Structure 1
Amino acid sequence: MLEEEYQPRRRLPPALRPKAPPPPKFEYVIRDATTRDLPDIREIYNHYVANSTVTFDEDPMSLKAWRSKFAWVAKLGFPFLVAVSPSGNVLGFAYVAPWKEKAAYRRTVENSIYLGPAATGKGLGKALMGELLTRAKAAGIKEVLAVIADQGAEASLKMHEGFGFKEVGRLGRVGFKFNRWLGTVMLQKSLK
């Protein structure tokens, strides 16, 4: 082969290069979850069960278990939200549930937010959190707790702190998943 065949291709200067089209706009609507959303909610959650330490569940959660949890949260009048795409696909979900079952804890909840893998990093978690906190306050909730894994959930910690959650404690080596010990970070936010 001739040497001139190996010469590098010339590139246009950046100002003359064609501009890439803008990425498609990430669109969604946040609404109350319904029982029809539960299969998608289960799929999103079970992805995290199988692939991460953000939940300490080790076994996939059944549709029956999700129906029970959904009914319990609805009976209490607490928010359970989904974010859906324009085509109706569930992109993520968020809800609050009682922190403990004792009556004195009735105005204290733990929050949960999970996004489908394709919906992460696009601001959807923040949008769900903002709406969840607004609706939790309207439901009479006074304190919101977040219990977050101390490894592998840095984005969740950062997001919660951005909403004014403050670290109130840590538990070390309380979970064992994927052949390693994990701890938790507890954060709290007062809704006034």
Structure 2
Amino acid sequence: MVLYSESTSTTIRPATAADLPAVTTIFAHYVETSVVTFEETPPTVADWAQKLGDLTDRGLPFLVATAGDTVAGYAYAAPWRPKPAYRYTAENTVYLSPAHTGRGLGRLLMTSLIDAGAAAGLRRLIAVVVDEGGANPSLALHRSLGFTEAGRLGAVGRKHGRWLDTVLLQRDLD
């Protein structure tokens, strides 16, 4: 099922096992070179396969953006918390290949994820965005899509020798 497609060969669709090596590579770049994730060791393809299986079993979306034959980015909605009462709330994640930023793919992925999350019965999406200081494309993207700030957690993560805050944002889907 294709969720979005345009003449420039950009497609948003559900992820498959064949996409996971590219997803692994994209995320590894951010783990190793940035503070936008608090992961310190990149997950393996097998780890991603487990995540894809778990999200699929839960009926939650895991999407990829392709540019031609290349996976240019991905987004998914994962359980916000493990307690059953939270089952209608999910945390969103979105990452783009460094070669595909600044082209609107993040917006396309997030718009598709919002729609897919609503179709899956989610009521609210939560974003946890690392505040690196200065311009923050992820905060700007989420705010432009109707996410509002729900709180800030100060100095909750340390990576690459820096203490970092996270900003919590939320968006209703109903």
Same fold (TM over 0.5): yes
CA drift at 1:53: 0.8
CA distance in 1, matches of 2:104, 2:67: 14
| 2:32 aligned residue | 50
SS of equivalent to 2:139: helix
| 1:20 aligned residue | none
Amino acid at match of 1:165: F
Amino acid at match of 1:173: A
* Partner of residue 187 from structure 1, selected from 157, 161, 169: 169
Residue 93, structure 1, aligned to residue 79, structure 2: no
CA drift at 1:57: 0.3
CA distance in 2, matches of 1:26, 1:121: 15
| 1:70 aligned residue | 52
* Partner of residue 145 from structure 1, selected from 116, 122, 126: 126
CA drift at 1:145: 0.1
Residue 123, structure 1, aligned to residue 104, structure 2: yes
8 Å Cα contact 1:98-1:109 kept in structure 2: yes
| 2:136 aligned residue | 154
Closer, same or farther: CA 52–26 of 1 in aligned 2, 3 Å: farther
Deviations 1:104-140 (A, max 9, x none): 0000000000000011001000000100000100000
* Partner of residue 169 from structure 1, selected from 141, 144, 151: 151
CA drift at 1:27: 3.8
Structure 1 runs (4+) greater than 2 angstroms displaced: none
8 Å Cα contact 1:91-1:116 kept in structure 2: yes
| 1:5 aligned residue | none
The structure carrying a bigger strand percent of its residues is: 2
| 1:104 aligned residue | 85
SS of equivalent to 1:53: coil
Amino acid at match of 1:182: L
CA distance in 1, matches of 2:76, 2:160: 26
| Residue-pair matches, total | 167
For structure 1, list consecutive stretches of 5 or more residues without a partner in the other structure: 1-24
CA distance in 1, matches of 2:8, 2:25: 21
| 2:4 aligned residue | none
Matches within 5 A, 1:10-21: none
CA distance in 2, matches of 1:76, 1:175: 29
CA distance in 2, matches of 1:158, 1:26: 25
8 Å Cα contact 1:26-1:122 kept in structure 2: no
Rg larger for: 1
User: What is the TM-score when the length of structure 2 is the normalising length?
Assistant: 0.93
